Chains A and B, each alone.
Chain A
Amino acid sequence: MKNVKKLTALTRAGIMESLQFRLGTAVTLFANLIYLALVYFLWKAIYESAGTDTVNGMTFYDTMIYLILATAVFNLLEMFIVWDMSRAIQSGEIIMHLLKPMKYRLYTFWSYSGSYVVSFFLTFIPTFLVVMLVTHGAVPVGMNLIYFALSLILALVINFNIEMLVAPVCLYTESTWGINIVKETVVLLLSGASIPLAFFPEGLRRAVDYMPFRAVYDIPLTILLKKNGSDTPEGLLSLLGLQLIWCIVLTLAGNLFWNYAVKRITVNGG
């Protein structure tokens, strides 16, 4: 019980922290809407020149819902662990985190949980409602919402672990910007966040199926849209199972790498 209280305290602190910068949140929200409008115009033009309504099993509405919700999920999952960690290492502050009577990985995850809660209610839910309104209910509503929520939580853990696998690389080089941009580019492209995986050519598609990035964006959205056989129990279970496997593998790998890398920390003064 005491343990849970410790963790929820971190969540509460995170919520307060992200509500602090209200102007920033409002402006970002507005900019996101404009960005989504741009995505809409782009894909409308693309579909108009295609001449057919359905391309690779995706209609214009499917693509739009997929991409808009991918953006919303992106905002929800966005973490700055690479930046935070490298700043903490450079300033020596990391020592204070390591001295805390709590595992560093656990601490980081739970201090981010507050911002998850805030952006879920302030960005994800409004975006979802707008999508529902604009597409006149093209998103199927039913049990898939619950499976989606479950899948989203798994995606969140996978994303956190990818971040935690990349961030300690900062201990070896000073290149925070470079490492971060490589990670971001790879994740966004191969997870289907910038272009739905359904459009990928056959060979690339098969390669992406064996990578963990798909579990972050593509699988939750596929489940939500009931595509790719995720409306049957077998299809659903195999998708969630895949996520679970990646969850376990990446958590183990992240733990191992962090425990190994943390021994290399050298702080000058601090």
Chain B
Amino acid sequence: MDNVQKSRKRGFLFYISIYRKILVQDLKTRMSYRSDFIISTLGMIMTDLSGFVTFMILFHNFPAINGWDYHHMLFLYGFSLIALTPVQCFFDNNWNLRFMVRSGDFIKYCFRPINVFFYFISEVFDVKGIGQFIFGMGTFIYAWNHIGIPVTFVTVVRAVLFLSTASLFMIAIMNAAAATCFWIINSGYVMVIMFRFKDFAKYPASIFNRVFRFIFTFLIPIAFVAYYPSLVFVTPDHVPLLSWLSPFIGVLFFYLSYRFWMLGVRRYDFTGS
């Protein structure tokens, strides 16, 4: 109880310095597997490239998707790739959570005088996400130029703000999906399913009917990863309210997923395995 009290008082700077230390350790161990780094980065770029090729083939046969032409679709694709980078780089350890919980190794995270979620997540930094970020940036800037969005102080600040908050949605989804393992044994499939749904982040949510649009806006917020925030840039004249609100909704979803994750940790303590 004493520890919990103390950790609450610890400031942002303290956590940043800890993160840096853990990150350096992780990178050192990674560097000893250099071929793994190269192949994984290559694999990451291959997946992004194959998504790109799929677009090329689609637009070779069809002029548009629901009024979104080639460059607008590329804008969405680039946007989604950038917004999906943080979950890949910083939150990859969620994939190991179920093994840790099952084997009992997870208990080590509960004995540190820092936030359990922070400590667990900070342990892995996934380098291969950087390849995706670079590919996404290239696509995003290319599409931005071709659509002819003006480059002003306001649009650039908006881009940074909306991209960074859009990334919170996928983080929230994966946090919640990973945390199911505190209740269900072998819940890896929940993560796999959610990870598959992200394939649809790169398409306009307007193609769905009302029920599915509701599900993918408020329950599994895939539509917020790229569609709603990009409307701010693509159709600046009539932006729906949800697009303007998306940064706040992102923070809310992230907070909820964090609470859910921590609820699981509490439960884990109680079973005492």
A37-69 CB contacts (< 8 Å) to partner B? 37-38, 41-42, 44-50, 55-56
C-alpha gap A223/B43 in the complex (Å): 32
With A35-B197, A38-B200, A56-B61 known as contacts, the answer to whether A21 contacts B50 (CB < 8 A) is: no
C-alpha gap A47/B196 in the complex (Å): 23
**B interface with A by C-beta (< 8 Å):** 33, 35-36, 38-44, 46-47, 50, 53-54, 57-58, 60-67, 128, 184, 186-187, 189-190, 193, 196-197, 200, 203, 207-209, 212
Q: Is the CB of B189 within 8 A of A200?
A: no
* CB proximity of A103 to chain B, nearest CB, Å: 28
Q: Which one, A111-119, A185-193, A211-219, A246-254, is touching chain B?
A: A185-193
Q: Is the CB of A185 within 8 A of B50?
A: yes
With A28-B193, A44-B207 known as contacts, the answer to whether A55 contacts B62 (CB < 8 A) is: yes
Chain B hits for A23, CB < 8 A:
184
Chain B hits for A181, CB < 8 A:
40, 43-44, 46-47
The interface centre, meaning the residue of B42, B54, B61, B187 with most chain A CB atoms within 10 A of its CB, is B61
Cβ of A201 under 8 Å from chain B: yes
User: What size tier do the contact residues of chain A reach?
Assistant: 35 or more
C-alpha gap A45/B206 in the complex (Å): 9
C-alpha gap A45/B73 in the complex (Å): 13
**A interface with B by C-beta (< 8 Å):** 21, 23-24, 27-28, 31, 34-35, 37-38, 41-42, 44-50, 55-56, 173-175, 177-182, 185-186, 188-189, 194-195, 199-201, 204
Task: From B41, B54, B197, give the contact of A189 (CB < 8 A).
Answer: B54
Q: Is the CB of A38 within 8 A of B212?
A: yes
Who on chain B is nearest to A197 by CB? Answer: B57
Task: From B36, B190, B212, give the contact of A27 (CB < 8 A).
Answer: B190
Q: Is the CB of B61 within 8 A of A55?
A: yes
Chain A hits for B186, CB < 8 A:
21, 24
* CB proximity of B270 to chain A, nearest CB, Å: 22
C-alpha gap A48/B206 in the complex (Å): 13
* CB proximity of B254 to chain A, nearest CB, Å: 23
C-alpha gap A173/B60 in the complex (Å): 38
Q: Is the CB of B207 within 8 A of A41?
A: yes
